[in-house]
Structure 1
Amino acid sequence: MDKKRSVAFHTLGCKLNFSETSTLSRLMESEGFEKKEFDDLADVYVINTCSVTDNADKECRQLVRRIQRKSPESFVVITGCYAQLKPKEIASIPGVDLVLGAAEKFNIAQHINELAKGNDAKVCSCDIEAVSGFNASFSQNDRTRTFLKVQDGCDYTCSFCTIPMARGKSRSDSIANVVKHATQLAADGVKEIVLTGVNLGDFGKGPDGGRHEEDFFSLVQELDKVEGIERYRISSIEPNLLTNDIIAFVANSNKFMPHFHIPLQSGSNEILGLMRRRYRRELYAERVGLIKTLMPHCAIGVDVIVGFPGETDKHFQETFDFLHELDVSYLHVFTYSERDHTKALEIQPVIPIPVRNERNKTLRNLSYMKLQYFTQQQSGQTRKVLFEGFDKHGMMEGYTDNYIRVSTPYRGEWANQIIDWELR
């Protein structure tokens, strides 16, 4: 390979993956690699995978085939959750040269430097129980909002989820390190930080799994003091870990935005039990009620899974009715898909795929109506919008503090600036 090598990245999945891809990109650039767009020709292609749904697995395979057609001599590296869960399966995909599991992804440059084209795919993985340590990550120069990873892994055992098997035990950065990263991002001109993690509310466990004398509430209090960062968002937080103290703090903060994303997964207590979730719908409704009492303008997003094994028409109707009555702003609807080595595979009956898809469609329609209603409620209000710097065919976009997307003709002087905006 030439001395000045090039690398291109593609990310599948969550905000956490985006933060890690950005960090991997900077690591590669520090090793002398030139960063390219994924559609360009590059010497190395890195795909950071997700394994929450079957679609992410399929998309990974499609991307490898696309690279093979476009640039068969390039190296293809697969990392992320799918790589940790099914390294041998990925290594067997024609065109894949290197598979990096959870413990090795941040050693990517060293592994790439040792590659030779034509050899069998090299697998660098390990037992997930051996994964420890915390690798701080943040996205930078990719978008106006920066994703800052503060926690990784999960100690929960939800019956549908493979993430603990893919990312290991819950572990966190220290508050001091997070504040240091936030201060550096502020110096680089970042206006908004989105705090990310696998189980964000569980913040406080050290790299070895032991407990710091710190928790998520302490973290948000310290970040609120950082000069230069004007906005924070909490990407997703379990309802049982979203305490009244955190809600009240956000309500009184000028920096933490009135916007929560709270996974529900089902509005049926029976299904929540089968899912091995750590709360019931009553607690969820209580959290939403407190948020809306303190912040009537707050946006609330909800994750929900449809078609989980055992979910009868009655259970689904419970979920629909619960969400219909709940004062939330939008839904992220996931169709259940079977994942190897999960307890959900033992639950009967299995819901037919067409029924799953129909339920997904029903909830997506409900989400559309919820978002329309929430947006109309804000009409006539003046809210602060942080505009992104991208020129999209003469237009630019931004988000209000309470996460309503705004579009307007492009004005360069508004890029990465917070503007008072009357919603209509």
Structure 2
Amino acid sequence: MQGTKTVAFHTLGCKLNYSETSSLSRLMEREGFEKKEFTDVADVYVINTCSVTDNADKECRQLVRRIQRKAPESVVVITGCYAQLKPKEIADIPGVDLVLGAAEKFNIVKHINELSKNDAAKICSCDIEDVTGFHSSYSINDRTRTFLKVQDGCDYTCSFCTIPMARGKSRSASIDAVLKDAQLLAASGAKEIVLTGINLGDFGKGPDGNAAAAINGRAENFYKLIQELDQVAGIERFRISSIEPNLLGNEIIEFVANSKKFMPHFHIPLQSGSNAVLGAMRRRYKRELYADRVGLIKALMPHCCIGVDVIVGFPGETDTHFKETYDFLHELEISYLHVFTYSERANTHALTLQPVVPVPLRNERNKTLRNLSYMKMQYFEQQHAGQTRKVLFENHNKNGMMEGYTDNYIRITTPYRHEWENQIIDWNL
């Protein structure tokens, strides 16, 4: 691949994947590659994959087929969680040239330069137990809101989840390294940083996933991280992308309530409102703790936006269990839901659980909760009608319109004005 000059990227999955794709893009641009849009013809296409659901796997295959039709001589590189979990399966997809596992994705240029298009697909992977390094990643120049990865991997053993197999042990940057990244992002003109990780509240374990990092002789943790970030000059907004309810302590909630930089917005995975299902999922809390977290947030920040992850159709989820979840969410002061339909994932404990919920019933439950989410968000927005809140507008002209978010995550769409790009504007809701 000597002489390759253009590269295009596509990201599937979570905000952490977006931060890593952006870092891979900058890495390749420093090595002389010119970045193209994914819809353009490029010499190299990089797909950063997710494997949380079957849909992500299918989308990866569809993207490769699309590239084959458009640019059959181009090199196709697959990385990310799907690549770590099923490298041989991906290598067998016609058109794939290179599969990079978790330990090799940031060595992408070296591997591309060693490739020949007519060779069989090359797999560069390893056992996930051998993945110990932490690679700082952040998105920049892609969005007004930049995603900053501060933690990776997970030590939890939820029965439905493949992420520990794809990402390895929980490990983090040091607070000092995160502060340097935040200062760099501030200097670039970014106004808002979204902190991302696989299990963000577990921040504090060193790059090897074992020994806790330390600052001034004290162990680091997520609470100390946000206290330090709150002092970074130039960044006007921070958001916490997602945090487990059992790791969302009172001190974190109270800190956000009193901070001028951390936005009144939490995304807290629930997965089920039934304690029986939570137990089968091997989650580390019960619904009572979740309700307590939401109650404290709303007591301190009545205007706070709260998002919730929920899985429907988990093995053994009866109509009664689902009604428990629906009623629990209906009564909670939450703002929106991300609803996932359970899909079987290889090598997970959930595959052994019975009875299996029929797929049509899973889809029906998904639709029911998505309707509830719509009603929740409508109600949340109506509660703020007539208020003036600060909106950060993004750097995009979308068919004559622009978008931004209030501090508490209400999306605003208005006719495009260049002078409002990356600016915080007082907005009457």
TM class by shorter chain equals: over 0.9
Give the match for residue 386 of structure 1.
Answer: 392
Task: Check the 8 A contact 2:83/2:99 in 1, yes or no.
Answer: yes
Partner AA of 2:205 in structure 1: K
Partner AA of 1:299 in structure 2: C
Give the match for residue 409 of structure 2.
Answer: 403
Task: Check the 8 A contact 1:4/1:34 in 2, yes or no.
Answer: no
Give the match for residue 119 of structure 2.
Answer: 119
Give the match for residue 131 of structure 1.
Answer: 131
Give the match for residue 12 of structure 1.
Answer: 12
Residue 3 of structure 1: how far off its partner (Å) = 2.9
Return the match for 1:316 from 289, 312, 322. 322
2: distance between equivalents of 1:171 and 1:208? 6
Task: Check the 8 A contact 1:151/1:173 in 2, yes or no.
Answer: yes
2: distance between equivalents of 1:88 and 1:295? 49
Matches within 5 A, 1:329-348: 329-348=335-354
2:304 equivalent to 1:298: yes
Matches within 5 A, 1:37-116: 37-116=37-116
Give the match for residue 216 of structure 2.
Answer: none
Return the match for 1:280 from 278, 282, 286. 286
2: distance between equivalents of 1:365 and 1:129? 41
Task: Check the 8 A contact 1:159/1:274 in 2, yes or no.
Answer: yes
Partner AA of 2:65 in structure 1: R
Partner AA of 1:138 in structure 2: Y
Give the match for residue 159 of structure 2.
Answer: 159
Residue 13 of structure 1: how far off its partner (Å) = 0.2
2:227 equivalent to 1:226: no
2: distance between equivalents of 1:221 and 1:5? 43
SS at match of 1:372: helix
Residue 122 of structure 1: how far off its partner (Å) = 0.2
Residue 215 of structure 1: how far off its partner (Å) = 0.1
Structure 1 residues not aligned, in runs of 5+: none
2: distance between equivalents of 1:124 and 1:3? 22
Normalising by structure 1, report the TM-score: 0.99
Partner AA of 1:317 in structure 2: K
Residue 389 of structure 1: how far off its partner (Å) = 1.5
2: distance between equivalents of 1:4 and 1:117? 12
Partner AA of 2:331 in structure 1: E
Matches within 5 A, 1:164-203: 164-203=164-203
Structure 2 residues not aligned, in runs of 5+: 214-218
RMSD, aligned α-carbons: 0.6
Task: Check the 8 A contact 1:382/1:421 in 2, yes or no.
Answer: yes
Normalising by structure 2, report the TM-score: 0.98
Task: Check the 8 A contact 2:11/2:47 in 1, yes or no.
Answer: yes
2: distance between equivalents of 1:2 and 1:291? 55
2: distance between equivalents of 1:28 and 1:344? 39
Task: Check the 8 A contact 2:139/2:148 in 1, yes or no.
Answer: yes
1: distance between equivalents of 2:316 and 2:279? 11
Residue 118 of structure 1: how far off its partner (Å) = 0.7
Task: Check the 8 A contact 2:306/2:336 in 1, yes or no.
Answer: yes
Partner AA of 2:17 in structure 1: N
2: distance between equivalents of 1:117 and 1:360? 42
Partner AA of 1:232 in structure 2: F
Partner AA of 2:292 in structure 1: E
Identity of aligned residues (%): 80
Matched positions, count: 423
Residue by residue over 1:138-197, the C-alpha shift from the partner in whole angstroms, topping out at 9 and shown as x without a partner, is 001101000000000000000000000000000000000000000010011000000000
Moved over 4 A (4+): none
Task: Check the 8 A contact 1:395/1:410 in 2, yes or no.
Answer: yes
